[in-house]
Structure formats: structure tokens, C-alpha cells
Copies of this chain bind each other. A is one copy, B any other.
Amino acid sequence: MLTAQAADFPRWYQDVLAKATLAETGPVRGTMVIRPYGYAIWERIQAEMDQRIKAAGAENVYFPLLIPESHLRREAEHVEGFSPELAVVTEAGGQRLEEPVVIRPTSETVFGEYMARWVQSYRDLPLRLNQWANVVRWELRPRLFLRTSEFLWQEGHTAHASSADAAAFARRIHADVYRAVLEEVLAIPVLAGLKTDAERFAGATATLTCEGMMRDGKALQLATSHELGQNFARAFDITYTDAHGSAELCWTTSWGSSTRMVGGLIMVHGDDAGLRLPPQVAPVQVVVVAVKDAPAVAEAVERLRRELVADGTRVRADDRTGVGLGRRLTDWELKGVPVRLEVGPRDLAEGVVSLVRRDRREREPVGLDGAAAAATEALGDVQRALYEDAAGLLARRTVDVDDVDAAIDVARDGFARLPWASCGAEGERRLNAAGVSIRCLTTDDGAVPDDVDAPDLVAIAGRAY
């Protein structure tokens, strides 16, 4: 069915996307069609993220898709980075446009322009805005969910009266939104730290990142949060009048996460049988399978379905007894449904059904009366077990090393932890030349450092998607 992960991990990934009906390529090169099963996962991630973004005090806003080319040039550093990725509209409404417009690669410049208008006095601060939207960055080597010419994301932009307030907010988003959703909802253990000067977002004074380890030992950057100092405010003239009447520049932040997280979710948890979805994001949490076509079976399936619905569980009844059982079970495993209840006439005669956890793939008999409750309880177990599996892999494949050569060696199939003091910018260049990058800097005990110059920092090096 699927290519084995050990044989060809990227091919396994493509196979899972197709066979679990998550996504396909779109008609324009580099674009993606997200099918209902994949989109339902994204919707759940988005809902969990959105709720926490709002709890942090940000409000959603919507800026236009199209930006005049001249506006993008306003921030030189900005356009430099995006120029080769832009899609340009030159004709519209049946006519050639006087000034070409670009499809947003981000809405950053438009946020800047309007935030400058909306912030007048210190009473308008902090201004905390977020946008859910599609952006386009032309990709020559697209990979579904990981790197596509169009992707869905949220970008937040905030303005504050002080450096400390801005820094605290960027860190709050990083910890209470990104890291919380990744760890608690997606069951992805996260390396949280600062980007080095070389890896930092252009214009940022600090970039906080959440990095995950995929099952092939490679890193995926899952979300970033930036402190922009007064750089962005200076470029867009975002100023406010303070309580004493004098004009001051704001301190700003920006932060983003995207459909790339769906790719991470697949590559952190999936196995050779397909997806393994954490119950919190699984579109179907429990599937109740009728093994055979029999009145008692149909009755029990319907009873379990009702009990689980009443419990608030996302449940699907599979009564397609015209289709071979083996094929149906393989399909539910492929789709990563966390818990399966199999209802067969023989078991039923003894008052039991089979409970199968997708993560362990072991069959366990449970009494019909307690089956719905057992399935619900198993969901919590699966959520924890998937996190622990991923954390175990991360721990096993992360090795302490002393120098750059050893780090390059370790990074073939995992992460190297090396003292930042003994590596430095020069060591980072050597790593990069070998196809390895520093994913983040952390303190020795894995916390996010105050800044990149703090003493005794550890560099986490790995190969990245």
C-alpha cells in the first residue's frame, strides 16, 4: 500500500497525502487542493489557535489580497526578500493596469500602513491585530503543505508603547498560543528557542521559534514570533502621542503559523500504516465498524454511535458491509482514526466488542455496555501516547556534541546539541555548508534565552525541511 518510511520518507509522505485523501496538487504548478479530510484537520488547528490568539487580546482583521507594487517597495529590505517569489497582476477588468499589483506574499506592508493611521495616542496601544488569509509565494520546488505557492496562514502584528511590552507579547504568543497548540493539541513536542543572527527574520531584533522533529530526524519550523524593535514602526511611521503630548515611535511584533503545521502533524506521528491523528484534531475520533451485516450488529453500532455523539465525541459509523472488512480497516488505519470499535456477531453474542487504538494497533475486548466510555477514555490515552512517542524519538535522536564536525555527523538523522560559545557564527557557516542549520538557541535546560548573547547557550543543529 504505502511506501515504507524507512525506504523513502518523502515518498511515504506523498503516498499518505494521496491515500488518506488529505490533499492533491492544484491545476497551477505549486498550488494545492486541500480535500475535506485534510481541511477538517486544518479547521480544528485554526479554531484552537484562534481561540488562544483572542485570549491573548488580539482581534481579527482582513486586509486585501492585492497590493500596489509601489507599496511593497517602501520597505526595501522587505521587498528584497520577496521579489523572486511575487505573483504580479498586470491585467484586470479587461485592461492593462497602469500600475501592476502583486498578490500579497504577506500583508505586512499593508498592516504597517494602516496601523500607522489607526494608532494616534497612547490610548490606542497596545494595538493587537491578527489576520487569517491566503498568501502567494511562487515556489519552484513545492511540497504539499510544507511549501506551496499558495498557503493559508495567520499573521499577527502588534504595536506597543514600550520595548518590554512588545517583547512580553511576542513571547506570550510563542508560549501560550504556538507552543500550547503544538504540544497540547497536535501532540508535537517542541524545541522552543531563539533564532541566531543569521537565521533571524529580516528586520527583527529577536525571532522566537517552535521547531519539531519529524520521524526521519529532520527539523520542521512550525511557527515563529518576532520582536521587531522600532524598525518596522520607523519604516511605516507608526507613532503615538504619549501622555505628555510628545510623539514616540511604537515597538512592534509580528508572528505567524500556517498550513505547514498539517505537514508537521503527518510527519511527526504517521507510521507505515498511515496517519496517526491526535484525538484533539482528528476529524473522526472514533469509528464504529459493523463487521458483518446482521440486525444485532446494526443495532449495536447505532447504539454506540448515539452514546458517543451524546458524549460529544466525533464519531463515524461504518456500516458498509458490502465492502470487505480488511479493506475498510486498512482505510481507517490509513486515515489515522485514533480509536476503532469493531462490532461482530460472534463477539456480540458474548456481550463484547473489540476496541483498537490506532497508535498501538492491539485488539482488546470490551463489554458492549461500557464500550463507548472505554473509547472515550482511550482517546485521552492516545493523545498522551502520541506525544510520548514523539518525545521519545526526539530524545533518542538528540545528541550532545562538542564540535561542529560531530554536529554534522549527528544531523544525518537527528539533532545535535552543541555549545553555542564553541560554535559561533563561524561554526554556523560550516554547518550551513554541510546542509545543516541551527534551528534555535536554547538555555542549557531547554528554556528560551533572554537574548542570543546570553551565556552558556546551546545550539540545536539539524537538517530542515
Task: Mark A157-201 against chain B: 1 for CB-CB distance below 8 A, else 0.
Answer: 000000000000000000000000000000000000000000000
Contact A84 B93 (CB under 8 A): yes
**Is A330 an interface residue, CB under 8 A from the partner?**
no
On whether the beta carbons of B88 and A27 are closer than 8 Å, the reply is no
A238 CA to B61 CA in the complex, in Å? 38
How many Å lie between the Cα of A43 and that of B54 in the bound state?
13
Interface string of A16-30 (1 = CB under 8 A from B): 000000001011100
Say whether A133 contacts B134, CB under 8 Å.
Answer: yes
Q: Is A391 an interface residue (CB 8 A)?
A: no
> Hey, which chain B residues are within 8 Å of A26, CB to CB?
63-64, 66, 110
Set of chain B residues within 8 Å of A93, measured between Cβ atoms: 84-87, 138, 140
- Which B residues are CB-close (under 8 A) to A140? 93
Residue A103 is within 8 A (CB to CB) of chain B in the complex: yes
A61 touches which of B33, B63, B66, B134 (Cβ 8 Å):
B33
What copy number does this chain have within its complex? 2
Contact present for A88 and B85 (CB under 8 Å): no
Judge if A60 is at the interface, Cβ distance under 8 Å: yes
For the complex, is A324 an interface residue (Cβ under 8 Å from B)? no
Interface residues on A, range: 35 or more
A91 within 8 A of B: yes
Q: Tell me whether A435 is interfacial, beta carbon within 8 Å.
A: no
- Which of B36, B59, B67, B110 contacts A129 (CB under 8 A)? B36
Q: A154 to chain B: closest CB distance in Å?
A: 13
User: For A31, A85, A87, which residue has the most chain B Cβ atoms within 10 angstroms?
Assistant: A87
A73-93: contact bitstring with B at CB < 8 Å (1 yes, 0 no)? 000000000011111111111
- Evaluate whether A89 and B103 lie within 8 angstroms (CB atoms) in the complex, with A61-B35, A110-B27 already known: yes
Measured between beta carbons, the chain B residues less than 8 angstroms from A61 are: 33-36, 39
CA distance A34 to B61 in the complex (A): 6
Q: B28 near A63 (CB under 8 angstroms)?
A: no
Contact A28 B103 (CB under 8 A): no
**Interface check A326, CB cutoff 8 A:** no
A59 contacts B83, CB within 8 Å?
Answer: no
What residue in chain B is nearest A31 (Cβ atoms)?
B64
Residue of B nearest to A123 (CB): B320
Chain A to chain B contacts (Cβ below 8 Å), 17 pairs: A26-B64, A34-B62, A36-B60, A36-B129, A39-B61, A39-B62, A65-B65, A66-B87, A66-B149, A66-B150, A83-B94, A84-B94, A88-B90, A89-B89, A90-B90, A91-B100, A92-B138
Known: A36-B59, A36-B61. 20 other contacts (CB 8 A): A28-B68, A31-B64, A32-B64, A33-B61, A33-B110, A34-B62, A35-B61, A36-B129, A40-B59, A43-B60, A62-B152, A65-B136, A66-B150, A83-B94, A87-B89, A87-B91, A91-B100, A92-B138, A93-B138, A103-B103
Chain A interfacial positions (CB closer than 8 Å to B): 24, 26-28, 31-36, 39-40, 42-43, 59-68, 71, 83-94, 100-101, 103, 110, 113-114, 123, 129, 133-134, 136, 138, 140, 149-150, 152, 320
